[in-house]
């Protein structure tokens, strides 16, 4: 389960870095993909929080 958390966190970082580079580049690609990347980042953060919560609850029992 810890590995799943690390994968989720790494995915968040990758998507965030992609979004930053896309914003720096600007242009049509930024207009087309920035919103999609933000939604993907927030979704991945939610997955990471759920996994973290499950790990927390498993550790309590």
Weakest mean pLDDT among 1-5, 8-12, 38-42, 47-51:
1-5
Tokens of 48: 């990471």
- In tens, the pLDDT along 17-61 reads 999 999 999 899 999 999 999 999 999 999 999 999 999 999 976
pTM (two decimals): 0.86
Tokens of 53: 């919560």
Confidence at residue 60, expressed as pLDDT on a 0 to 100 scale: 76
Q: Where does residue 15 rank: exposed (0-12), middle (13-18), buried (19+ CB within 10 A)?
A: buried
Confidence at residue 61, expressed as pLDDT on a 0 to 100 scale: 65
Tokens 């997955």 belong to residue: 47
Q: Is the pLDDT of residue 14 over 80?
A: yes
Residue 8 and residue 44: Cα distance in Å, rounded?
A: 6
User: What phi, psi does 17 have (nearest 5°)?
Assistant: -65, -40
């Amino acid at each position: 389960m810890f590995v799943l958390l690390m994968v989720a966190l790494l995915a968040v970082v990758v998507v965030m870095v992609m979004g930053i580079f896309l914003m720096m580049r600007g242009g049509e690609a930024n207009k087309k993909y920035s919103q999609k990347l933000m939604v993907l980042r927030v979704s991945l953060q939610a997955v990471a929080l759920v996994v973290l919560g499950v790990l927390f609850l498993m550790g309590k029992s």
